[in-house]
């Protein structure tokens, strides 16, 4: 253990900003990060043990205890539940003889839950030793566990053929499907690779920024900040080095379009990073990807290597003197909050993924204190097409406020879940018609848990920054779904699990609200409980980052749009109820003493 | 590079040097903005959120936001006061704070703020979490029941080599403060005392020193928190 860990620390030159890479390597090698490993790493990096441990304990996929030779992480997103996760979970527990959170006594199998893994269009899904298993059933579970017990290797556990497109690539070989349902200008595979880079070598960086500004393309991660402006700020910021980050930490439950781009169009993405580097004067790009997409690592490294050979990356790119740029891949380790740009930078520096205070903004002081751009995967891809076809062409798609197209990740109760590229400005009704809604739609979650839950009276609203803004996730709920239990409660659990814990508001309030929600769901609520939830949610607005500020959105938007669901459950004749169930509380004591509850 | 800027706090004009944090400008001008995680000489973190003010209408933390020309800062409007009160209440229900039995009573900033903001009983239900008291360290007792996770100890206390002695552990509502067992063993008396002093509550106590200062003679026993600033 000592030798390997030491070798890894040396590989990263005893650089504590590379702690994430060191920990990922140790975790992969041993299946956990022991206290001996932590002490060794701390010693080598001249840190204290608790300092290393605070990073280890922050990330979901790092573990201080062994997680089994086969670590099974079953997704627990709302859509996974809708698609039969419960049955799969029960089968897993039955077949392995352990509960979630445990490892079999022989150390062979570990069972764990995990937040949305970006496979909402093929749930129930799980990650086993960094490989994805989709569309699980209790039958498949039996097969998989039997094969594991028979001593088969991880690559022998697949029974179905590999998915479509690059999922079949020899360096991917995964059963994941792309489910690309509608192709637009960004997903269009017919473009000349490298052409955009060639084009910018004939432009000045300012001309590139102007073109991007003229296209009015805005950040596709959800916040919608004008991309050209961000680049300009970074270009003008003072710093001896500058960095381009691509944010591929797609963690919003229900979103999976970046996974499809990473699979099918990684060259387009890398080209976008090169363009950004040229525009702002950066020589290093970092692709920060969520750990859930680790199965794409070899494939992406292979494509980067090929790009270096073609001189799309490296020194004097395409013969242009002084145009140097290269890209490295940085994996996360399971933390939704790292999708927030400053938390992502903290994480890339080897620390806990806690958002930073702003100002200063990353464009002034980001990675390693240097001016840094953080752009979403789709944003960078859009930029390549802007450079290739011009800003005017790009503006011909979408609306005046929201130019271009948007990739939507659509899942839930519909016939054709998957990725759709549409121009901005279509209504929710249009989208529902496009995806083949099944039965009557009760509600649509727009923009994931941090977005809003809307009902049919708002389906005529249009997608766009000026009306219904979205990072691209749409989850459809049929009329048979229990919105409070299946959706709101699941989303609140998600926010509670994923809070970094730094701000008092976001650390404490969501669980307080969850308790209220449960009280109402258990028919113990009163009218005042609904008002309390609305009023108390407002305090979250004082949180530092978007996660905290939106952590009550599932409750706020469902009360706003589905108030009747709450009111039907509160006690109309009571003004006050503690929510405390005395009978239930004493049931165990009564059993032991052989008494009947005296109520 | 720094220059003089003019800002207003609740309509009162204040002169400041650019780059100064709002909280410090307010202090110099005799205006009190409550803090819990902020501490003089320690890099601000903005984690308790209690110093939230409105800067030109937007909620910002006064401890992390530098002033700039013509900022209009609102420190006393109804919703800001209500927010601060709510944060105090949230911190009370998150842990187990039994003031009468606490060694820090009277010197506790959380308790003092609860008085200043007239908290009677929290509007939020108590959570009564199960928390540990850790007395393994030879010099310090760490009582997680009282910790408000402000990170002052993490940021203020380092060993001679600059290594962190305190750190967060886990995330979200499971976060705890950890004291490094190895480095912590050799904690000097001065550092142990500093840890107790920077802790705004009674979560870090120097062993056998809890009642050195008698109750009744403590910092907030006679005057409310912030009155020293407002007297300037």
Last residue of a domain, one of A160, A191, A206: A160
Residue A434 is assigned to a structural domain of this protein? yes
For testing contact with chain B, the best of A50, A358, A512, A515 (most B CBs within 10 A): A50
Query: Residue A137's domain spans which residues?
Result: 70-160
Residue A473 is assigned to a structural domain of this protein? yes
Maximal CA-CA distance, chain B: 52
For testing contact with chain A, the best of B1, B173, B174 (most A CBs within 10 A): B173
Both tokens of A213, joined, read 């500004």
Overall number of domains in chain A = 5
Pick the closest to residue A144 from A105, A108, A101 (CA basis): A108
CB A475 within 8 A of CB A428: no
Query: Which residue among B64, B83, B167 places its CB closest to the CB of A51?
Result: B167
* Distance of residue B71 Cα from the nearest chain A Cα, in angstroms: 14
Place A223 in a pLDDT band, splitting at 50, 70 and 90.
confident
Q: Are B50 and A504 a contacting pair at CB < 8 A?
A: yes
- Distance CA(A313)–CA(A275), nearest Å, equals 11
Asked if residue A494 and residue A463 are part of one domain, the reply reads no
Residue A38 is assigned to a structural domain of this protein? yes
* Alpha helix ranges (H) inside chain B: 22-28, 78-94, 109-116, 152-156, 181-184, 189-198, 219-222, 227-230
Asked if residue A269 and residue A128 are part of one domain, the reply reads no
Contacts 24+ apart (CB under 8 A), B175-180: B175/A501, B175/A507, B175/B149, B176/B144, B176/B147, B176/B149, B177/B142, B177/B144, B177/B147, B177/B149, B177/B153, B177/B203, B178/A50, B178/A53, B178/A54, B179/A50, B179/B134, B179/B137, B179/B140, B179/B142, B180/A48, B180/A49, B180/A50, B180/A51
Q: Give the CATH number for residue A368.
A: 3.40.50.11540
* Distance of residue B189 Cα from the nearest chain A Cα, in angstroms: 20
Residue A583 has what pLDDT? 85
Asked if residue A491 and residue A427 are part of one domain, the reply reads no
Residue A576 is assigned to a structural domain of this protein? no
Q: Give the CATH number for residue A468.
A: 3.10.20.600
Residues of B in contact with A503 (CB under 8 A): 46-49
Grouped pLDDT means (10 residues each) for chain B, 232 residues:
90 94 96 97 95 97 96 96 98 96 96 96 95 96 97 96 96 97 94 97 95 93 94 74
Across the range A334-345, mean pLDDT stands at 97
Asked if residue A379 and residue A271 are part of one domain, the reply reads yes
Place A471 in a pLDDT band, splitting at 50, 70 and 90.
confident
Place A596 in a pLDDT band, splitting at 50, 70 and 90.
confident
Task: Return residues 60-119 of B near A (CB < 8 Å).
Answer: 61, 64-66, 83, 86-87, 90-91, 93-94
Question: How much of chain B is in helix, strand and coil states, percent to nearest 5?
Answer: 30, 20, 50
Residues of B in contact with A357 (CB under 8 A): 44-46, 61, 64-65
Asked if residue A320 and residue A273 are part of one domain, the reply reads yes
Asked if residue A296 and residue A250 are part of one domain, the reply reads yes
Q: Give the CATH number for residue A552.
A: 1.20.1440.230
Q: Give the CATH number for residue A86.
A: 3.40.30.10
Residue A24 has what pLDDT? 98
Residue B146 has what pLDDT? 98
Residue A586 is assigned to a structural domain of this protein? no
Bridge-based pairing of strands B72-74 and A180-182 is: unpaired
Residue ranges of domains in chain B, CATH in brackets = 4-76 (3.10.20.740), 93-209 (3.30.70.20)
Backbone angles phi, psi at A414, to 5 degrees: -150, 165
Whether the upstream peptide bond of residue A572 has omega within 30° of 0, thus cis, is no
pTM over 0.90? The answer is: yes
Asked if residue A413 and residue A501 are part of one domain, the reply reads no
Asked if residue A488 and residue A474 are part of one domain, the reply reads no
Residue A165 is assigned to a structural domain of this protein? no
Asked if residue A32 and residue A129 are part of one domain, the reply reads no
Asked if residue A156 and residue A226 are part of one domain, the reply reads no
Residues of B in contact with A509 (CB under 8 A): 90
Residue A93 is assigned to a structural domain of this protein? yes
Asked if residue A328 and residue A217 are part of one domain, the reply reads yes
* Distance of residue A256 Cα from the nearest chain B Cα, in angstroms: 25
Task: Return residues 157-196 of B near A (CB < 8 Å).
Answer: 159, 161, 163-175, 178-183
Residues of B in contact with A543 (CB under 8 A): 49
Residues of A in contact with B169 (CB under 8 A): 50, 53-54, 57
Kindly tell me if the per-residue pLDDT of A1 is higher than 70: no
Convert the pLDDT of each residue in A42-71 to its tens digit.
Answer: 999 999 999 999 999 999 999 999 999 999
Asked if residue A230 and residue A202 are part of one domain, the reply reads yes
- Interface contacts (A, B; CB < 8 Å): 128
Residue B174 has what pLDDT? 97
Convert the pLDDT of each residue in A153-194 to its tens digit.
Answer: 998 998 778 999 999 999 999 999 999 999 999 999 999 999
Across the range A26-54, mean pLDDT stands at 96
What percentage of chain A exceeds 90 in pLDDT? 92
Convert the pLDDT of each residue in A274-287 to its tens digit.
Answer: 999 999 999 999 99
Inter-CA distances, A523 with A326, A373, A482, A517, A578, Å: 58, 49, 15, 10, 12
Kindly tell me if the per-residue pLDDT of A385 is higher than 70: yes
What percentage of chain A exceeds 70 in pLDDT? 99
Place A473 in a pLDDT band, splitting at 50, 70 and 90.
very high
Which residue numbers of A have CB closer than 8 Å to B's CBs? Answer: 46-51, 53-54, 57-58, 335, 352, 357, 359, 496-505, 507-512, 515, 532, 536, 539, 541-544
Residues of B in contact with A33 (CB under 8 A): none
- Distance CA(A28)–CA(A21), nearest Å, equals 11
Q: Are A544 and B49 a contacting pair at CB < 8 A?
A: yes
Place A542 in a pLDDT band, splitting at 50, 70 and 90.
very high
Task: Nearest chain A residue to B183 by CA: give it.
Answer: A48
Last residue of a domain, one of A110, A130, A160: A160
Residue A62 is assigned to a structural domain of this protein? no
Residues of A in contact with B181 (CB under 8 A): 49
Across the range A255-270, mean pLDDT stands at 98
């Amino acid at each position: 253990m000592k030798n390997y860990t030491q070798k890894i620390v040396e590989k990263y030159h005893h650089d504590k900003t590379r702690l994430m890479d060191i920990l990922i390597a140790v975790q992969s090698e041993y299946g956990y990060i022991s206290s001996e490993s932590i002490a060794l790493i701390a010693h080598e990096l001249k840190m204290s043990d608790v300092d290393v441990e605070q990073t280890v304990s922050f990330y979901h996929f790092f573990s201080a205890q062994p997680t089994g030779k086969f670590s099974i992480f079953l997704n627990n997103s709302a859509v996974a539940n809708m698609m039969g996760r419960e049955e799969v979970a029960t089968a897993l527990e039955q077949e392995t003889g352990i509960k979630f959170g445990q490892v079999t006594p022989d150390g062979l199998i570990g069972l764990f839950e995990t937040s949305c893994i970006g496979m909402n269009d093929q749930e129930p899904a799980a990650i086993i030793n960094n490989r994805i298993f989709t569309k699980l059933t209790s039958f498949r579970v039996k097969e998989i566990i039997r094969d594991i017990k028979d001593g088969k290797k991880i690559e022998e556990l697949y029974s179905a053929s590999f998915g479509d497109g690059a999922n079949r690539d020899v360096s991917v070989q995964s059963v994941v499907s792309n489910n690309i349902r509608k192709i637009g200008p960004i997903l269009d595979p017919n473009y000349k690779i490298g052409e955009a880079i060639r084009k910018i070598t004939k432009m000045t960086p300012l001309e590139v920024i102007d073109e991007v500004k003229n296209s009015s393309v805005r950040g596709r991660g959800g916040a919608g900040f004008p991309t050209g402006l961000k680049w300009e700020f970074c270009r003008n910021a003072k710093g001896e080095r500058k960095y381009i980050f691509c944010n591929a930490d797609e963690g919003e439950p229900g979103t999976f379009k970046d996974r499809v781009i990473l699979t099918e169009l990684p060259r387009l993405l890398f080209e976008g990073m090169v363009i950004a580097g040229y525009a702002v004067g950066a020589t290093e790009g970092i692709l920060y990807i969520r750990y859930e997409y680790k199965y794409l690592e070899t494939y992406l490294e292979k494509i980067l290597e090929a790009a270096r050979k073609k001189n799309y990356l490296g020194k004097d790119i395409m013969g242009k003197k002084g145009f140097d740029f290269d890209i490295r891949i940085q994996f996360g380790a399971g933390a939704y909050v790292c999708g927030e740009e400053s938390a992502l930078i903290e994480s890339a520096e080897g620390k806990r993924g806690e958002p930073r205070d702003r100002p200063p903004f990353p464009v002034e002081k980001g990675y390693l204190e240097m001016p840094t751009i953080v752009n979403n995967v789709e944003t960078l891809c859009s930029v390549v097409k802007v450079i290739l076809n011009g800003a005017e062409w790009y503006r011909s798609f979408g609306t005046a406020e929201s130019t271009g197209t948007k990739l939507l990740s659509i899942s839930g109760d519909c016939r054709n879940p998957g990725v759709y590229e549409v121009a901005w400005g279509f209504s929710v009704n249009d989208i529902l018609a496009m995806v083949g809604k099944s039965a009557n739609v009760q509600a649509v979650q727009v923009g994931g848990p941090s977005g809003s839950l809307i009902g049919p009276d708002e389906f005529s609203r249009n997608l766009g920054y000026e009306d219904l803004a979205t990072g691209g996730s749409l989850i459809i709920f049929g009329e048979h779904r229990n919105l409070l239990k299946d959706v709101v409660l699941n989303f609140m659990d998600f926010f509670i699990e994923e809070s970094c814990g730094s701000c008092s508001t976001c650390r404490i309030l969501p669980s307080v609200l969850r308790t209220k929600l449960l009280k109402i769901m258990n028919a113990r609520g009163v009218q005042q409980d609904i008002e309390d939830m609305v009023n108390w949610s407002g305090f979250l607005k004082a949180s530092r980052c978007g996660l905290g500020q939106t952590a009550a959105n599932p409750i706020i938007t469902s009360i706003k749009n589905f108030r009747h669901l709450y009111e039907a459950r509160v006690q109309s004749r009571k003004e006050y109820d503690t929510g405390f169930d005395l009978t239930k509380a004493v049931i165990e004591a009564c059993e032991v003493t052989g008494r009947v509850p005296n109520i | 590079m720094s220059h003089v800027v003019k800002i207003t706090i609740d309509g009162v004009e204040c002169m400041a040097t650019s780059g100064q944090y709002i909280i410090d400008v307010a202090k110099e001008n005799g205006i009190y903005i409550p803090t819990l995680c902020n501490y003089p000489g320690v890099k601000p973190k903005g984690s308790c959120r209690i110093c939230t003010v409105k800067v030109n209408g937007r909620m910002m933390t006064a401890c992390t936001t530098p002033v700039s020309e013509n900022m209009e800062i609102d420190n006393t409007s109804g919703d800001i006061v209500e927010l601060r009160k709510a944060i105090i209440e949230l911190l009370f229900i998150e842990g187990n704070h039994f003031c009468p039995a606490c060694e820090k009573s009277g010197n506790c900033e959380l308790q003092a703020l609860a008085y200043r903001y007239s908290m009677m009983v929290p509007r939020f239900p108590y959570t009564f979490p199960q928390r540990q008291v850790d007395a393994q360290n030879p010099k310090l007792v760490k009582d997680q029941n009282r910790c408000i996770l402000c990170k002052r100890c993490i940021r203020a206390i380092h060993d001679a080599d600059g290594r962190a002695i305190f750190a967060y552990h886990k995330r979200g509502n499971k976060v705890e403060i950890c004291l490094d067992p190895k480095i912590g063993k050799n904690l000097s008396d001065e550092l142990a005392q500093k840890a107790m002093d920077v802790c705004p509550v009674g979560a870090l106590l120097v062993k056998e020193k809890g009642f050195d200062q008698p109750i009744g003679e403590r910092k907030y026993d006679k005057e409310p928190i912030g009155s020293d600033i407002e007297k300037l």
